[in-house]
Amino acid sequence: MSLRSTQKGTAAVKTAAVKTLRCAVYTRKSIEERTEQELTSCQAQREAAQAYIKSQAPEGWICLPEPYGDGGFSGGNIERPSLVPLAQRANR
């Protein structure tokens, strides 16, 4: 509970604690769909995800600064270079 000053004095106000939720953005562009716009596509995915996370800031969401992405890797398996550090970060 916190105290808040009003025109008529001090009032006790219940405030809910907002829990921080750390969000990582992972992007991928399939090798089957490889084009000259590969980097742009991953960048667009990241920008869209960051915008959504930012819109959830009042709920405690924060975007981790590290980029995680595997442009040019198939989604058919999980053997992708950026998934290992992402998983390690999630387990901290």
| Residue ranges of E strands in the chain | 2-6, 9-13, 21-23, 26-29, 61-63, 68-71
Domain ranges for the chain, please list them.
17-90
The pTM assigned to this predicted structure is 0.69
Cβ-contact 68, 34 below 8 angstroms = no
Write the pLDDT tens digit of every residue in 24-49. Answer: 999 988 766 555 554 468 889 999 99
Q: What pLDDT does 79 receive? A: 83
Mean pLDDT of 17-23: 92
